[in-house]
């Protein structure tokens, strides 16, 4: 049986997000012939939007946290799924950390005990690579730690979410949009204002702080 090559129509995206994709290797995908050896998955912010089902400063913040963390851990090289641990200071059911951790898990592959156990003797194992309530961030801003299991190197990424600009007054129409009580012009204004905040998060490195921790 040959792989199904049937294609479907692409999503008609209303927003063209401007941010570099994240490239990450996956040893299981390479072993099973999904990817050629050394070839990475290319994950875009649009892929994250599909996973989350929406785009917002929290989703875009999680994307950039992961991107910056992986860049710091693997300078000049490609990160590898199953070699990246993720540590979260908050609980799994936290409104912020829960949503962000799902996106970060989607990109890095890091999971708890319910994740993929790997091939053969554990090649590509993703279990126990994601931990909640794992450290004290020393503040209230969203903070995540990424650790390379092969070298022990660890970086911490903090999202200065309080510095994200407030939305245009048009974003105040969200409730009325949900209730179907806006004009086309008001909806368009809302969408422009909402997604301009998202784009700011994707483009402004000053909203994030990255530091290397002692091994």
Tokens 């279990």: give the residue. 127
- In which domain, by residue range, is 183 found? 22-213
Other Cβ atoms closer than 10 A to 211 = 10
Report the number of distinct structural domains present in the chain.
Answer: 1
- Quick check: 65 and 49 in contact, CB under 8 A? no
**β 143-148/154-159 pair status:** antiparallel
Closest CA to 109 of 50, 52, 43, 159: 43
DSSP state of 89: S
Kindly indicate the confidence band of residue 1, based on its pLDDT and cuts at 50, 70 and 90.
very low
Per-residue model confidence as pLDDT tens digits over 32-64: 999 999 999 999 999 999 999 999 999 999 999
- Cross-strand pairs, 131: 87
What was the pLDDT predicted at 20? 96
Q: What is the mean pLDDT of residues 132-155?
A: 96
Tell me, yes or no, whether 87 lies in a domain.
yes
Tell me, yes or no, whether 14 lies in a domain.
no
| DSSP string over 11-47 | P--S-----PPEEEB-HHHHHTTSS-TTPPEEE-HHH
Tell me, yes or no, whether 4 lies in a domain.
no
| DSSP string over 150-206 | TT--EEEEEE-GGGSPPPPGGGGGHHHHHTT---HHHHHHHHHHHHHHHHHHHH-GG
**pTM to 2 decimal places:** 0.91
Tell me, yes or no, whether 8 lies in a domain.
no
Tell me, yes or no, whether 63 lies in a domain.
yes
**CATH code for the domain of 177:** 3.30.1330.130
Q: What is the mean pLDDT of residues 196-214?
A: 95
Q: Rounded CA gap, 72 and 79, in Å?
A: 10
Tell me, yes or no, whether 10 lies in a domain.
no
């Amino acid at each position: 049986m040959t792989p199904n090559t049937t294609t479907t129509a692409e999503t008609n995206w209303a927003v063209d997000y401007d941010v570099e994709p994240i490239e990450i290797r996956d040893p299981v995908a390479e072993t099973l012939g999904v990817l050629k050896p050394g070839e990475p998955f290319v994950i875009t912010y649009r892929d994250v939007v599909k996973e989350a089902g929406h785009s917002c400063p929290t989703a875009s913040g999680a994307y950039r946290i992961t991107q910056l963390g992986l860049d710091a851990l693997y300078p000049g090289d490609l990160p590898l799924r199953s070699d990246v641990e993720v540590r979260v200071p908050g609980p799994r059911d936290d409104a912020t950390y829960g949503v962000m951790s799902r996106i970060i898990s989607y990109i890095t592959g890091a999971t708890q005990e319910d994740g993929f156990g790997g091939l053969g003797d554990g090649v590509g194992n993703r279990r126990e690579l994601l931990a909640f309530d794992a450290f004290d961030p020393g503040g209230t801003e969203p903070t995540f730690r990424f650790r390379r299991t092969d070298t022990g190197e660890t970086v911490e990424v903090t999202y200065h979410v309080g510095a994200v600009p407030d939305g245009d007054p048009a974003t105040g129409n969200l409730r009325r949009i949900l209730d179907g009580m806006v004009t086309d012009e008001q909806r368009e204004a809302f969408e422009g204002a909402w997604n301009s905040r998202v784009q700011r998060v994707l483009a402004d490195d000053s909203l994030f702080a990255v530091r290397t921790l002692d091994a």
